[in-house]
Amino acid sequence: MLHRYPAFLLAVFVAMTVVATAQPAPLRIATYNILNYPGSTGPARNAQFRTVVAAMQPHVIVAQELISAMGVELFETDVLDRVFDGRFEAAPFVDASGDTEGAFFYDTTRVTYLQMKIINTQLRAIEGYRFAVRGTTDTVWIFTVHLKAQDTQADAAKRAAEASLLRAHLDSALAGQHFIVAGDFNVYNGTEAALALLLSAEPNANSRLIDPLNNTGDWHSNRDFAFIHTQSPRTRQFG
């Protein structure tokens, strides 16, 4: 998801392409839940991760379900550096919630990392990262979310509470700035309160999000939406 400010951003949910105002080359941004990483099988999964990121060719990755700073370093050195010849670096890992955390990886030839913002929730923290696009005067915030999973009413209410905290920050701190929200939303259909909060033009249309896919419906376990499903293609529950 993204906030569309004049003449700046084009994107899709999972592999986003950002076109900066003064730079013709697109900036490719990806979000990736790498599942309890590194866990007990992190190194064994890295060959598959290398295959995936080589196909995506991202310049920025926000990832979810990082366990530790060691996991961030391992993904950078054994996945990204081996595919992209050492061009990638990572923002500092912050254990903000006692759960799994987000991470920010970036191609140093294309962007410069500037700062981080933590939004604490009752479950997992929402991490925001601000970066500058090289060759331009543009700066962008990208927030990685991993909202409450499962499909009970109580779970949906917790997702709405998390989304409300994020939206409050966007409304109060980022009006008029460029930002993207990406990650594992765990939203089951287009009528969920969490999604409505993020997309609403109220109270500030300049801090609403825009879903560039715009395929509203009952997505969960619905083959009609298979083309936008992003469920983890794994053979084991946890590594």
Interstrand relation of 27-37 and 15-18 (parallel, antiparallel or unpaired): antiparallel
CATH number of the domain bearing residue 74: 3.60.10.10
Share above pLDDT 70 across residues of the chain, in percent, rounded to a whole number: 86
Give residue-wise pLDDT tens across range 11-50: 333 334 454 444 458 999 999 999 999 998 888 999 999 9
- Sheet with 111-119: list strands edge to edge: 111-119, 126-133, 139-146, 178-184
Interstrand relation of 178-184 and 139-146 (parallel, antiparallel or unpaired): parallel
C-alpha–C-alpha distance, residues 196 and 84, integer Å:
38
Q: Is residue 7 part of a domain?
A: no
C-alpha–C-alpha distance, residues 133 and 104, integer Å:
15
- Average per-residue pLDDT in the chain? 87
Q: Is residue 236 part of a domain?
A: no
Q: Is residue 136 part of a domain?
A: yes
Query: What is the predicted pLDDT for the residue at 232?
Result: 65
Highest mean pLDDT, choosing among 21-25, 222-226, 232-236: 222-226
80 contacts 65 by C-beta, under 8 angstroms:
no
Q: Is residue 182 part of a domain?
A: yes
Q: Is residue 238 part of a domain?
A: no
105 contacts 80 by C-beta, under 8 angstroms:
yes
Query: What is the predicted pLDDT for the residue at 213?
Result: 83
Query: What is the predicted pLDDT for the residue at 228?
Result: 78
Helix/strand/coil (H/E/C) assignment for every residue in 166-184: HHHHHHHHCCCCEEEEEEE
Q: Which amino acid is at 223?
A: R
Quote the pTM value. Answer: 0.87
Per-residue pLDDT averaged across 100-123, rounded?
97
- Looking at the predicted structure, is the pLDDT value of residue 4 above 70? no
Give residue-wise pLDDT tens across range 40-97: 888 899 999 999 999 999 999 999 999 999 999 999 999 999 999 999 999 999 999 9
Which tokens belong to 206? 């300049």
69 contacts 102 by C-beta, under 8 angstroms:
no
Q: How many domains does the chain have?
A: 1
- Looking at the predicted structure, is the pLDDT value of residue 136 above 60? yes
Query: What is the predicted pLDDT for the residue at 3?
Result: 44
Share above pLDDT 90 across residues of the chain, in percent, rounded to a whole number: 69
Q: Is residue 1 part of a domain?
A: no
Residue 174 domain boundaries: 15-226
